[in-house]
Structure 1
Amino acid sequence: MNKNLLIQDLGLKDYKETWDYQEALFKEIIDIKIKNRREDAGLETPNHFLFVEHPHVYTLGKSGDFDNLLVSEDYLKKIGATFYKINRGGDITYHGPGQIVGYPIIDLENFFTDIHKYLRFLEEMVILTLEEYGIKAERSPGETGVWLDVGTPFARKICAMGVRASRWVTMHGFALNVNADLGYFDNMIPCGIKGKAVTSLNVELGSIEVPISEVKEKLLKHFAQLFEAELKQKTEASG
C-alpha cells in the first residue's frame, strides 16, 4: 500500500480548470486499478492532495436542489461569479478567495475502505486545526461538515464537504472559510440547510486576517497523522 501523499498548491485557479485536472488525476488512478485487476500488474496507485483558492463560484451537487441558489445566473455574472452543476455529493456551496479548498484524490485502498470513516477523518482534520486557534468546532448529527455551537440558535458552519468516490478512489473534498467574504453566502441556502448561518475563521478570531499558508500547514499535519500518510511535495506543473 502506497501511503505517500503528493501535495500540490494550485494557488488561485478557475473552478472548471481545477475540476478537469481533478478528473485527470482521478482517471489515472482508476486506470491503474483496472490494469492491476485485469493483468495482475501490481502497480502502485498514487495519492494526491490539491490545495486551491477559486474565483467566486457556486457549485451544485448531483442530488442538490437548484432552488437553493437564490439569485439568477445573470446576477451571478454581474457579481463576477460562475455556476456549475457537478458530480459530487451534497447540495449547493460557494467557493471564493480567502477560502481554503482541499481536494484529496486518493486511493482509499492504500489506507482503509470506509467512505464514512474517510469523511469523519476529513472533519476531524478541520476540527483539530481549528482547535489550534482556540476554536471548539464539532460535527452536527446528520449534516456533513464542521460546525460551531451545534444545538444552539447560534449554530454556524465553517467548513463544507462533498466528495465523490468510485472504486475506492476519491475526488472533490472540503472548503474551509478562513478569510472568506461571507456576503456571497447570502445568494444561496448553504448546503440546502435552511436557518443555519455560515462563519469564517477570521470572523471567529475578531476579524483578524489569518495567514492561509499557516492554516494549510496545520491541515496537512493533521491529515498525515490521521491517515498515517507521508507528505511529498509535487513539483511538476499541473496539466
Structure 2
Amino acid sequence: MNKKVALQDLGYKDYKETWDYQEALFKDIVDTKVRNRREDAGLETQNHFLFVEHPHVYTLGKSGDINNLLVDEKILEEKGATFYKINRGGDITYHGPGQIVGYPILDLDNFFTDIHKYLRFLEEMVILTLTEYGLKAERSEGETGVWLDVGTPFARKICAMGVRASRWVTMHGFALNVNADLGYFDLMIPCGIKGKAVTSLNVELGQKEVDVAEVKEKLLKHFTALFEAELVSEKSSV
C-alpha cells in the first residue's frame, strides 16, 4: 500500500480548471486500478492532496436542489460569481476568497476501504485543527461537515464537505471558512439546510484576518496522523 500523498498548493485558481485537474488525477488512479485488475500489473496507485482558493463560485451536488440557490444568473454575475452542477454528493456549496478548500484524491485501498470512516477522518482533521484555536468544533448528527454550538439555537457551520468516490478513489473534499466573506452565503440555503447559520474562523476569533498558511499546516499535521500518510510536496502543474 502506497501511503505517500503528493501535496500541491494551487493558490488562487478557477473552479472549473481545478475540477478538470481533479478529474485527470482521479482518472489516472482509476485507470491504474483497472489495469492492475485486468493484467495483474501490480502497479502502485498514487494519492494527491490539493489546496486551493477559488474565485466566488456556487456548486450543486448531484442530489442537490437548484431551488437552494436563491438568486438568478444576473445577480450571480453582478456578484462576480459563477455556478456549476457537479458530480459530488451533497447539496449546494459556496467557495470563495478567504476559504481553504482541500481536495484529497486518494486510493482508499492504500488506507482503508470505508467511505464513512473517510468522511469522519476529514471532519476530525478540521475539528482537531479548530481545537488548536480554542474552539469546540463538532459533528452534527445527520449533517456532514463541522459545526459550532451544535444542539443550540446558535448552531453554525464552519466547514462544508462533499465527496465523490468510485472504485475506492476519492475526489472533491472540504471547504473551511477562515477569512470568508459570509455575505455570499446569504445567496443560498447552505447545503440545503434551512435555519442554520454559517461562520468563519476569523469571526469566531474576533480577528480581522487569520494566517491561512498556519491553518493549512495544522490541517496537514492532523491529516497525516489520522491517515498515517506521508506527505510529499510537489510544485503545481496547472
TM-score (norm 1): 0.99
Is the Cα–Cα contact under 8 Å of residues 100 and 176 in structure 1 kept in the other structure? yes
Match of 1:230 in 2: 230
Is the Cα–Cα contact under 8 Å of residues 21 and 238 in structure 1 kept in the other structure? no
> May I ask how many residue pairs the two structures share in their alignment?
238
Match of 1:34 in 2: 34
For structure 2, the 5+ residue unaligned runs are none
Match of 2:166 in 1: 166
Match of 2:137 in 1: 137
Pair 1:121-2:121 in alignment? yes
Deviations 1:39-85 (A, max 9, x none): 00101000000000000000000000000000001110111000000
Name the amino acid aligned to 1:210.
V
Match of 2:180 in 1: 180
Deviation at 1:127, TM superposition (A): 0.1
Q: Distance in 1 between matches of 2:129 and 2:196?
A: 22
Name the amino acid aligned to 1:127.
I
For structure 1, the 5+ residue unaligned runs are none
Q: Distance in 2 between matches of 1:104 and 1:51?
A: 9
Match of 1:98 in 2: 98
Q: Distance in 2 between matches of 1:178 and 1:22?
A: 23
Deviation at 1:227, TM superposition (A): 0.2
Q: Distance in 2 between matches of 1:18 and 1:139?
A: 28
Match of 2:10 in 1: 10
TM-score (norm 2): 0.99
Deviations 1:61-120 (A, max 9, x none): 000000000000111011100000000000000000000000000000000000000000
Is the Cα–Cα contact under 8 Å of residues 179 and 202 in structure 1 kept in the other structure? yes
- The runs of at least 4 aligned residues of structure 1 exceeding 2 Å deviation read none
Deviation at 1:208, TM superposition (A): 3.4
Match of 2:209 in 1: 209
Deviations 1:139-184 (A, max 9, x none): 0000000000000000000000000000000000000000000000
Match of 1:192 in 2: 192
Q: Distance in 1 between matches of 2:159 and 2:112?
A: 23
Is the Cα–Cα contact under 8 Å of residues 68 and 188 in structure 1 kept in the other structure? yes
C-alpha RMSD of the superposition:
0.6
Deviation at 1:19, TM superposition (A): 0.1
> What percentage of aligned pairs have identical amino acids?
84
Match of 1:23 in 2: 23
Name the amino acid aligned to 2:103.
Y
**SS in structure 2 of the partner of residue 146 of structure 1:** strand
Q: Distance in 2 between matches of 1:105 and 1:30?
A: 11
Name the amino acid aligned to 1:185.
F
**SS in structure 2 of the partner of residue 120 of structure 1:** helix
Q: Distance in 2 between matches of 1:222 and 1:43?
A: 28
Q: Distance in 1 between matches of 2:41 and 2:133?
A: 46
Q: Distance in 1 between matches of 2:209 and 2:135?
A: 15
